[in-house]
Amino acid sequence: MAAFDPDKEIPRHIAIIMDGNGRWARERGLPRREGHRTGAESVEIALETCGEIGVDYLTIYAFSSENWKRPEAEVKALMGLLAHFLKEKTSSLIKNNIRLRVIGQIDKLPKSNQKELEKSIEATAGNDGLTLVVALSYGSREEIVEATRSLMKKAQDGELDPGNLDEATFAAQLNTAAYPDPDLLIRTSGEFRVSNFLLWQISYSEIFITKTLWPDFRRDNLLEAAGEYQKRQRRFGGV
Ligand code: V0D
């Protein structure tokens, strides 16, 4: 295991697929929502730890575009968790200089969630510490299709010559246009899949997969992932 060293390269952007809440709850005979609730505590710890070591961007996969197919009660519980988090934690985001942003099809969320999100984004817009990007109703293929649609429209309107389309022009149409690509992608709960998360953006990211379930993923786990990233940077020189 590689120890984290604050004097070595810090991943500037960490993205996390927070998997394993359901399994964590099942193993304890608890309702699924308890897994999500404890997982939300892990999000807070990840925020603290990223702040502590100087990460600039943390992107979390909170709710995928596929998650709408889950039982209605669970979707409701997740939206309740989102509302609760925003209501209870916006003041702490402000206090800790964290800027909140979202990616995904936010217009598909319940109107009340959209309003609360808008308020928290606005209230933290002036912060210049860690940026927390929450992926909500997010799917990477949808994002890529949407980007293509808007580029086709520009071409049709004579604003873009297809011959001039390049990677930077394409990336500028993605939800993540304002953020650097993730340096490190963490997936908890041991699955070796990318699951429609940031497909374009993780082209060169280091991938850290751990069997630890998301509700059990705490400060030491994040430091281990950052330490492993540093070890790989040293070996491969970041190419
Ligand atoms: C459930 C595990 C934090 C994954 C973590 C659906 C799924 C707990 C947030 C959150 C969720 C953080 C900051 C913020 C707004 C929300 C969150 C959802 C689910 C929404 F500004 N955890 N979390 N949002 N889960």
Asked whether residue 158 is assigned to any structural domain, the reply reads no
Average pLDDT, the chain: 97
User: Is residue 67 among the annotated active site residues?
Assistant: yes
The helix (H) or strand (E) run that includes residue 186 is strand 184-187
Query: Cβ(191)–Cβ(185) under 8 Å?
Result: no
pLDDT digits (tens, 9 = 90+) for 69-126: 999 999 999 999 999 999 999 999 999 999 999 999 999 999 999 999 999 999 999 9
82 C-alpha to ligand 1 centroid (Å): 6
What torsion do the CA atoms of 200, 206, 209, 214 make, to the nearest 10 degrees?
-70
237: confidence class by pLDDT, cuts 50, 70, 90: low
Asked whether residue 148 is assigned to any structural domain, the reply reads no
Query: Cβ(132)–Cβ(90) under 8 Å?
Result: no
Q: Point out the catalytic residue in the list 5, 56, 67, 216.
A: 67
Query: Cβ(64)–Cβ(142) under 8 Å?
Result: no
Q: How far is the first Cα of the chain from the last one, in angstroms, to the nearest whole number?
A: 22
Query: Cβ(118)–Cβ(100) under 8 Å?
Result: no
**Ligand 1 test: best mutation among 24, 34, 44, 63, most atoms within 8 Å of CB?**
63
What is the number of domains present in the chain?
Answer: 1
Does the beta carbon of 82 sit less than 6 angstroms from any atom of ligand 1?
A: yes
User: Is residue 19 among the annotated active site residues?
Assistant: yes
Q: Can you give the residue range of the structural domain that contains 51? A: 13-143+180-231
Does the beta carbon of 171 sit less than 6 angstroms from any atom of ligand 1?
A: no
239: confidence class by pLDDT, cuts 50, 70, 90: low
pLDDT digits (tens, 9 = 90+) for 29-74: 999 999 999 999 999 999 999 999 999 999 999 999 999 999 999 9
Q: Point out the catalytic residue in the list 19, 113, 175, 183.
A: 19
The Cα–Cα gap between 74 and 67 comes to: 9
pTM above 0.85, yes or no: yes
201 C-alpha to ligand 1 centroid (Å): 21
Does the beta carbon of 78 sit less than 6 angstroms from any atom of ligand 1?
A: yes
Asked whether residue 170 is assigned to any structural domain, the reply reads no
Strand order in the sheet with 13-17: 99-103, 131-138, 57-64, 13-17, 184-187, 206-209
Q: Is the dihedral of CA 25, 27, 28, 30 positive or negative?
A: positive
Asked whether residue 54 is assigned to any structural domain, the reply reads yes
Asked whether residue 203 is assigned to any structural domain, the reply reads yes
The Cα–Cα gap between 52 and 67 comes to: 32
CATH of the domain at 30: 3.40.1180.10
Question: Residue 107 has which token pair?
Answer: 């217009």
168 C-alpha to ligand 1 centroid (Å): 30
The percentage of residues in the chain with a pLDDT greater than 70, rounded to a whole number, is 98
Asked whether residue 225 is assigned to any structural domain, the reply reads yes
184: confidence class by pLDDT, cuts 50, 70, 90: very high
Asked whether residue 175 is assigned to any structural domain, the reply reads no
Question: Residue 183 has which token pair?
Answer: 């340096």
Is the pLDDT assigned to residue 238 strictly greater than 60?
no
Asked whether residue 150 is assigned to any structural domain, the reply reads no
